[in-house]
Amino acid sequence: MSLLTRWTLNDQAGFPSLFREMDSLFRGVEPKAYDNTMKLFSPDADIVEKENAFEVKVDLPGTKPEEIQVKLEGDTLTVSVERKQEKTDEKANYLRTERSYGLFARSFVLPQSVVGTSPEASYEHGVLTLTLPKREDTKPKTVQVKVLAK
């Protein structure tokens, strides 16, 4: 009898039972047992390499542009923001509070081909977009080939 079983991405038979087990594990936990000030706020980010630059997109919903700090030191890009807790109404009957608050910082190590002196930043619809140009000597070069007729 073999102890190893071949598994492929299309074979998802084991996942539904795993998810059911995880759900049952957390089902009895009271919402008040969580302290939202202690939860880790780590927004999603995408990094895309383009021909002339790297583009970093970070989801920061509910953040004002003036609250966002971007620092580029050497090959490390750091995005930080502090999300402050809204004042709550003592009389309100909150059924659930899940949003995280506090200081958040996320760092990315960038390739040596990034020019650190001219990054650009924009913020629209809760998404911070950073464009970091590549050094000229690392950009792809196109060479025109001449065909000689004989």
Q: Is the pLDDT of residue 143 over 70?
A: yes
CATH 2.60.40.790 fits 35-85+99-138, yes or no: yes
Taking the alpha carbons of 48, 53, 57, 58 in that order, is the dihedral positive or negative? positive
Q: What is the pLDDT of residues 35-50, one digit of tens each?
A: 444 445 678 899 999 8
Residue pair 133/52 in contact (Cβ under 8 Å)? The answer is yes
What are the helix (H) ranges across 8-109?
14-27
pLDDT digits 0-9 by tens, 62-85: 889 999 999 988 888 899 998 877
- Is the per-residue pLDDT at 89 higher than 70? yes
For position 140, what pLDDT does the model report? 65
- Domain positions in the chain: 35-85+99-138
Cα(134)–Cα(148) distance, rounded to whole angstroms? 35
The pair of three-digit structure tokens given for residue 64, joined into one six-digit string: 């004002």
User: Which pTM was predicted?
Assistant: 0.61
**Helix or strand or coil: residue 1?**
coil
pLDDT of 127 reads 96
Q: Are 115 and 134 in contact (CB under 8 A)?
A: yes
> What's residue 85's pLDDT?
77
